[in-house]
Each structure stands twice: as C-alpha cells, then as structure tokens.
Structure 1
Amino acid sequence: MRTILVQIPHDQIELFFTDESLEGIHQLGNIIWNPHHRPFTEQELCEHIQGVDTVITTWRSAPISEEVLKHADQLKLIAHMAGSVKPILPTLDVYRRGIRVLNSNYAIGVSVSESVLALILALGHKIIPVNKEMGTGRNAKSAVYETYELRGRTVGLIGLGMVAREVIKLLQPFGVKLLGCDPFVSAEQAQEWNVELKPLHDVIAESHIVSLHAPKVPETYQMIGHKELSLLRDGALLINTARGDLIDEAALIEELRKKRFYAGLDVFIVEPLSADSELRHMDNVIVRPHLAGVNPDSRLRIGTLMVQELQQFYNNGPLRFEVKESQLAIMT
C-alpha cells in the first residue's frame, strides 16, 4: 500500500481539508500525519520519509533538502499545498531522481485575482478616503471623491502567468482593453487571451491601470523604478500583488508623494512592512500585509484540488498543476 506523509501541522488540518477531501485522501493509501502543532524539523522529516511515496508540504514545511533525499528511498511525488514551491526545493536533485512536483498556485491565484480586482475598484471608487471623510461627520460628496470607473479603461499586465490570466477573466465584463508584457508568452497565446503584447515602457505609458504579475527572478528585480513610475499617466492605478522586489520601493514612495497616481500594494521588499513606513499613511495608497491569496476559502480549495490531483497521479492521469524543472526558474 502506498504511503503519504503530510507535513501540515496537526492543528491546521481542518484549515485545508473538508470532510470530503479528508475522505478522499484516506482512500489513496496509508496517511502519516504530522502529530505536532508545528512543522517537522529536517531531522524529523528524515526519520519519517523512508518508505514514503508522496510528501505533502505547506508554508514553513521542512524543505526537501539533499539530506532529506538521502532517506527518501521511495519518494515519487512532492505535493506543495501553499504558494511558491521554491522554498521547499533547495536542490534540483528531486528532478534528477525522477520525483514529480505539484504546486497549489492555481488555488491561491483565484483569490489573488479577486484581490487585484478589489484593489482596482477600491482605489478607483476612493472607498477608503471617502469612508474616512464620512467618519469625521463631513460630507464626502465632492469632486475630489468622484469615481474613477474601471469600465472601458486600458489595463496593463506585467507578466501573463496564471494569476494574470485569472484577472483577465474577471475583467471581461468591464470591457477593458488589455495590454501585456511577458517575454515567455507568444503573440498567438496573447491573442487567445485578447491581450496585445507590447514592450514594458509602452504598457506602462498607455495603461490607465498597471498590475504586476511577474515572477521574482534576477531579471525582474526592481524592474519598476523611477523611469517606469514617471511613465504612469496622471491618475493611474498601480497594483502589486506579486512580489515586493519588483518595485524600487524608495522610488515608489518618492513618486507617490507627488499624489500623481494611486497604488494598491499587497507585497513589499521587507515583510512585514515596517511600522514606520510612509506607505502606511499615504492617502493615495492601500496597503495590505500579503493577504491577497490566503483565506479560509483558498485553503480549502487547495486541499480539494490537491486531493483531486493526487487521484489523477495515482491513476496515471494528466496533471493540471505539475511544476517541471524548466518552469521552476520563472515561477514567483
């Protein structure tokens, strides 16, 4: 009988699994649950992984290191029930050994895409400043607080990965024009998504709303700096739910002080965002503490989709969420 090792801390199991998905995973084989209310240490993982076919990981799980692989004599699959799988794979030896890798980006990306839309609408409709003004007892019905409609705008997507494609679906009812920048996407693919590919600076300059979805790789480090920020239209909206390193944060703060555009930020160079960060107090900024993708619904979606994917794997079916070695380098 196959054996599945679940690294998720015992007190978090109900956050990820419904009764139905729990029943489904138990039907797959012998399940070894993490008995602790904390992640396994590397040593504990080494002790448990011998004879295991599949290991399930999540946030803060012990990585599948070279030392762990020495003990993983039967391992065929790593199923990561969290965001980026990169922290779990400090070595590419898993691919050399023929071990396959699954990720939960799609389950989380659905929530991230909703957060992108929420930030666009909240900024455009000035929800937070209007609410603050109303809280003072004054009337916020003035030209300063009039709505900036999403309908018919040009939206620029920097990176056209899975989250961006979910954003595209949500934007369809608003009749927006879509521009995109992604070196890994062909013109034919972009056309399927109704996106016009353009160089980075053109996308920024021509868009009313710019949303960042590029991965964190050396090539994208601070790709949005003074020059790029200066290209934003007056009144534009800049959304970042990807990675804080994509933006030169000092340049962003300097440009936001001019109150020329608005920003919705869920990620930062250093997290958590420092208590004294100026970004916390700017009235043309919405800040969130990296919350875009994780909520009760997305955690349960992760569990449900991962059990379905495991069923496919053990039945030799096609996998929706496999991460190939070639994909890993360009993942967020």
Structure 2
Amino acid sequence: MRTMPSHGHRPPTALAMAPDAAAAVLTPDTLRLLGQVCELLPGPVLDDFATDPARSVLRRAEVLVTGWGCAPVDEEVLAEAPRLRAIVHTAGSVRGHVTQACWDRGIAVSSAATANALPVAEYTVAMILLAGKRVLERAARFRAVRQAEDWLNVPREVGNFGRTVGILSASLIGRRVIELLRPYDLRVLLHDPYVTPEEAAELGAQAVGIGELFARSDVVSVHTPLLPATRGLVSRNLIATMRPDAVLINTARGAVVDQDALTEAAVSGRVRVVLDVTEPEVLPPDHPLWTCDHALITPHLAGSQGNEWDRLADLAVAELGRWAAGIGFAHPVRPEHLARSA
C-alpha cells in the first residue's frame, strides 16, 4: 500500500475539475494519499466556482488540486478564496484555468506536464520505429494477399538503421523523445530557436535550422506548443522540402501544421503521416485523410490514459506533500516561461 509521510501541516485543499476527470484520475487510493498530506475539504468536486457551496469551500481552501475541465481561477474566484496560496494541476497545461490574477497574487503553481510527457514520448518512439519498418502498410498488404513476403527483396530504405529523425521543439515531450531514442542506431536532429548547439549536443541531438530539419529527416516529429507564433509553423514550403516517403508525426496540436498542404502530400503518396491531433480535432467524415493509405490517424490517445492517470495523480500528491512541508514544488510552472510553452 502506498503511503505518504506526514509533515504536520495539512493545508485545507479543494478539488477543482470536471467530475468525470476527478473520477478518472483520483482513485480512492489517490484520495487516501491526498488525505495524508492535506485536509481534503468536504463537498462536491468544484466544476463551477459560482455556486454557494463552491464559495463556501473556496473561503477555506489554501490549495486547489485541479484537473481537466477546471474553470478559470480569475479575480472573482480569488476574491472568494482569500487563503488560496497554491494550485496543483493533475494534468499538463495550466493555460485554461490559471489566469494572470493568480500570478499577480503570487500563487505557486505546479503541473503534471512532466508525467504526461512520458506516454506521448513513448507513442512517438513507437511510431518512429513502426514507420521505419513500414509495419502498418506491410501488415495491410499481408492481410490482403495472405502470402509470404519475399523478405530478401525488401527495399534497402526499409528499416531503422541509420535513419534520421528530426525533432521539432525541445519541449518536455521533445526532450523525452530524444532521451528514449538514445539506444537506437538513429541520427537525431533538433530544431528549437531557444536551444544552443551545445545544449542540443548534451541532449543527444544535432541542432539545425528548421529548413534543414525537414530536408534531411526521414521522420519529422512535431512537439511544438500551439502559440500565436507557431500556428501554421509547419508550412506548405517546409512540407514540400521533405524527402520522398518521409514521415511526419504530429502529437502536438493540429493547427501547428498546414493541414491542407499535408493532406495533399499524403494523398499523392509523397509523404506518410501519423497524426494523433488534427485541425479540427475530429476531421469531417468525408476528409480525404480518413481513406488515405499513407495516413494513420489516432484519436488523441498519446497522452495519459487508463492506468497512466495514476502517474499524474502520484506526481500531484508528491507535489502537494512537498508544498505542505515547505520544500517547494519539484515541477513548478513559471509565468515567464508561458510565452513559449503549452
């Protein structure tokens, strides 16, 4: 049985997220662990801060444990929460609910983005390796013909030995992908304007310009957060420079990519695509990518799901325990970093 050490101070804490998110992420065991490091305030999970029961809870809360579906913690909410000093988020981005008013008050914020980065990175690495062996296409062909493949006549470009993988952005996920790729015989390129060549080398990658990344890579994996400056960053011109039969993997946000240009390249057979995100998030039923032989579309499943939610919950419990002990968060969110993070 998991236990948490007692540090004396157990800050009054409220849960603020959509009820279905709370039910998925906060198991009875997690709630027990939270109860060891904080005083869980009675009442419903707060998905609407404007109700009388919510206001009553907010008046006592020193900490909010938030999750998917949390309403914005704005000036009006903070006026009802005079004791609030910390927000511990059980998911990744805090942009949807941590407002400027929180930063102005000096509220400490933690996020489970580091924990959520791991399954996305694992998905990415799996897709890189499967794409190198052309597993999906060859499996479909095998299912159709139901005959042994002449493996001695497999083209030389099939396989993962010495392939070049381009990572677009040294985000938490991008860095984790580079780390997980280290055991493989791959060349890793990285484009990130905030990372020096020396820092890229320490990560295990070669720093290159974005044009060189797309022109040289057998696989380009997109890990850029969606910001005003990155909308449409993967442009028609960049897609046009990709090597024939190269693969583009996107686990970031669909709007980072010029989807019309990517669709044309995939439908023509010039490139292959693996998309866990699209723009819009679910493509129209008649969109040509649904029936494209060179496209794999998954339903935004790369992030934490199922038993992976326990990793998010464990990190949140540990962060709350550290804060209650006066140690400070191991995974703080800094307002000065928000301009270039998800």
Query: What's the secondary structure of 2:13's corresponding residue?
Result: strand
> Paired residue for 2:198?
188
Whole-angstrom CA distance in 2 between matches of 1:51 and 1:162: 34
8 A Cα contact 1:126 1:147, kept in partner: no
> Paired residue for 1:217?
227
1:112 to 102, 113, 120: 120
Q: How do 1:47-126 and structure 2 match up within 5 A?
A: 47-89=56-98, 91-126=99-134
What is the Cα deviation at residue 128 of structure 1?
2.6
Deviations 1:127-154 (A, max 9, x none): 3333333333533726689883223211
> Paired residue for 2:285?
275
Whole-angstrom CA distance in 1 between matches of 2:279 and 2:104: 33
Whole-angstrom CA distance in 2 between matches of 1:303 and 1:33: 19
1:206 to 216, 222, 225: 216
The count of corresponding residues between Structure 1 and Structure 2 is 329
Whole-angstrom CA distance in 1 between matches of 2:214 and 2:55: 48
Give aligned-pair identity as a percent: 29
1:32 to 26, 37, 41: 41
- What TM-score results when the alignment is normalised by the length of structure 1? 0.92
Whole-angstrom CA distance in 1 between matches of 2:142 and 2:265: 28
Whole-angstrom CA distance in 1 between matches of 2:177 and 2:313: 22
Whole-angstrom CA distance in 2 between matches of 1:52 and 1:128: 51
Q: Give me the CA root mean square deviation.
A: 2.2
1:184 to 1:56, Cα distance in 2 relative to 1, 3 A: same
Deviations 1:176-232 (A, max 9, x none): 111111112233321211221111101111111111111111111101121000111
Runs (5+) with no aligned partner, structure 1: none
Whole-angstrom CA distance in 2 between matches of 1:306 and 1:161: 20
8 A Cα contact 1:81 1:306, kept in partner: yes
Whole-angstrom CA distance in 1 between matches of 2:245 and 2:33: 50
1:145 to 1:175, Cα distance in 2 relative to 1, 3 A: closer
> Paired residue for 2:5?
none
What is the Cα deviation at residue 80 of structure 1?
1.3
Q: How do 1:254-265 and structure 2 match up within 5 A?
A: 254-265=264-275
Deviations 1:32-78 (A, max 9, x none): 26636xx6123134443112111011111222122211111011111
Whole-angstrom CA distance in 1 between matches of 2:340 and 2:163: 29
Query: What's the secondary structure of 2:60's corresponding residue?
Result: coil
Query: What's the secondary structure of 2:96's corresponding residue?
Result: helix
Does residue 133 of structure 1 match 2:117? no
Query: What's the secondary structure of 1:156's corresponding residue?
Result: strand
What is the letter of the counterpart of residue 216 of structure 1? Answer: L
8 A Cα contact 2:319 2:329, kept in partner: yes
Runs (5+) with no aligned partner, structure 2: 1-9
Whole-angstrom CA distance in 1 between matches of 2:61 and 2:29: 23
> Paired residue for 2:304?
294
Query: What's the secondary structure of 2:252's corresponding residue?
Result: coil
Whole-angstrom CA distance in 2 between matches of 1:172 and 1:231: 26
Whole-angstrom CA distance in 1 between matches of 2:148 and 2:41: 57
Does residue 168 of structure 1 match 2:178? yes
What is the letter of the counterpart of residue 189 of structure 2? Answer: L
Deviations 1:107-134 (A, max 9, x none): 1110000110122223233333333333
Query: What's the secondary structure of 1:24's corresponding residue?
Result: helix
What is the Cα deviation at residue 13 of structure 1?
4.4
Query: What's the secondary structure of 1:154's corresponding residue?
Result: strand
2:32 to 18, 23, 34: 23
Does residue 7 of structure 1 match 2:16? yes
